[in-house]
Structure 1
Amino acid sequence: MSAKKETLGKTVGIVVAVCLACSIVVSGAAVGLRSLQNTNAALDKQSNILKAAGLAGEAVSKADIAKIYDERVEEKFVNLDTGEYVANPAEGTGKPYDMYGKVSKDPSTSVQVEGAPAGFNRRANVANVYHIKDEQGAVSRIILPVHGSGLWDLMYGLLAIDSDGKTVRELIYYQHKETPGLGGEIQNPAWQEKWDGIKLYKDGEVAVQVKKGVKPGDEYAVDALSGATLTSNGVQNTLVYWMSDNGFGPYLKNQSWKS
């Protein structure tokens, strides 16, 4: 009887020891890879911004991406209520500011979105924006982060606007869960190209539309995605919200990048 107990005890001890050793290895790997993960995440963000800026073709390597980003992109921070630039809210933390992170859930750093017109309930008080500089150092484009609900979940994108503050150059979606071949066509280059030259405002009001049967020459509308009505409506609702006074409207009216 005692031999059986001793054998069982040894077995349990070995199992516990193996589990403990495995947990230490996994934890160590996670810590060791964290720096690499953060680097890759930053590189992916820079790559998407360069794509929206129309500069992706110049970057053929990771080093190119970082170099062009440093030379041509300036990150700024905007108080969405006033449209004015503010200091980096994450200054001194050692981490990049993330308008989609904890700040968007904390009542002290975000506001409630009444009615959730774009499919989310809160938005951060301060948003990241990106100035794209030409070779002379003047701002040629403004990149605005936008997000809103599609069919299945939130869709995250980057809207590139001319320095006039009202003409679209690119609408790039980089994260979504839309159905491949249907709503997933928001990433189709052929559909993305339709946004070049689209106007956001008419007589001071948000006028951009995503709809079926767009007439040739209509500079305020883009054809809806075939078979993806809810995704198309999501894009429409996203742009209407973020271009209004609830989002980047005050900032685009101020055109502070020209001063």
Structure 2
Amino acid sequence: MAGPDRNPWRRFLALPNESRAKTVGIAFLVSAVCAIAVSGATVLLRPIQTANRAAEEQARIEALVRGVPGMSALLEQSGGTLTTVVLDLGTGGAAAEVTPETLEAALADAANWTALDAGGDLAGLGQRPDYAQVYLLREGEDVSLALLPMSVQGYNGRIDAILALRGDMNTIAGLAVTRHSETPGLGARIEEPSWQADFPGTEVRDERGEMRFAVARGEASTPFEVDGITGATRTSTAIERMVRFWLGPDGYGPFLRAVERGEF
């Protein structure tokens, strides 16, 4: 007479299908196998997913830049390739430990934000991130274009935009408003190409380095002004404050000086 089967796996499989232990055990094994398969697939596919995200981000950036008046021709002339840099806004240099892939996680930490005092908070944001992702177009070793994301508190809510500066870090190449909630027909005109087309060629500072950029109350009358928007004074003022703040010492100012010194 054969003795009892000492193989636990065969003993388990020999249990009746109605057995609760067998049902729970099979469910556990199936879950474990699926978990291992999913984890393995995630590890194997991660490089492909990262590459795809990078390609999508590059395409999104280039599509956005091509929407800025005058940018499409410049991109074509320089090969159309932008490089991405995460800045430490405090120093103006490239961040040592934060990358485009880890930027979102870094900014989820309240410790990576700097509170702004009321007197210097031209943009009305209350605080600004310690890190920002910018995009650089190069001609040889020189930066020919810098694309700087910026934001401001507008009349009806936050306004987000990308300002393009030419290689001298003083001449505006273009402006693209990427998000706003301003009043239709008035402040919402900031997204109109006809208004944004007034920005290219506008200078930010005078020969002494003093900030002079302004949105005029009517038509621009100096090289440092762009036309105002009739009936939308508060929105126009918000755009002026946005540019002044982000190109100042609490924004991209240290980075602009670094580019001028040839450190990028």
TM-score (norm 1): 0.70
Out of 105, 112, 117, the residue aligned to residue 109 of structure 1 is: 112
Greater CA radius of gyration, 1 or 2? 2
Partner of 2:87: 78
Contact 1:53 1:132 in 2 (8 A): no
Paired letter, 1:221 = E
Q: How many residues align?
A: 209
CA distance in 2, matches of 1:129, 1:48: 13
1:194 is aligned to 2:203: no
Out of 205, 224, 243, the residue aligned to residue 220 of structure 1 is: 224
Paired letter, 1:212 = R
Identical positions, percent: 24
Contact 2:71 2:174 in 1 (8 A): no
Paired letter, 1:48 = L
Contact 2:215 2:236 in 1 (8 A): yes
Partner of 2:15: none
Deviation sequence 1:29-69 (CA, Å, 0-9, x none)? xxxxxx9xx7998344442134348444799xxxx9xxx99
Cα RMSD over matched residues? Answer: 3.1
1:97 is aligned to 2:90: no
Contact 2:213 2:244 in 1 (8 A): yes
TM-score (norm 2): 0.69
- SS of 2:156's partner is coil
1:126-165 paired onto structure 2 within 5 Å: 126-134=131-139, 136=140, 138-165=142-169
Partner of 1:23: none
Partner of 1:49: 65
Out of 165, 172, 182, the residue aligned to residue 168 of structure 1 is: 172
Contact 1:53 1:141 in 2 (8 A): no
CA distance in 2, matches of 1:126, 1:171: 21
Contact 2:103 2:131 in 1 (8 A): no
CA distance in 2, matches of 1:121, 1:180: 26
Out of 229, 236, 258, the residue aligned to residue 240 of structure 2 is: 236
Deviation sequence 1:55-94 (CA, Å, 0-9, x none)? 44799xxxx9xxx999510001211111112246146xxx
- In terms of mean alpha carbon deviation, does 154-163 or 114-123 score higher? 114-123
Paired letter, 1:239 = V
- SS of 1:140's partner is strand
Unaligned residue ranges in structure 2 (runs of 5+): 1-48
CA distance in 2, matches of 1:176, 1:44: 19
Instruction: Pick closer, same or farther for the CA change 1:240–1:44 going to 2, 3 Å.
Output: same
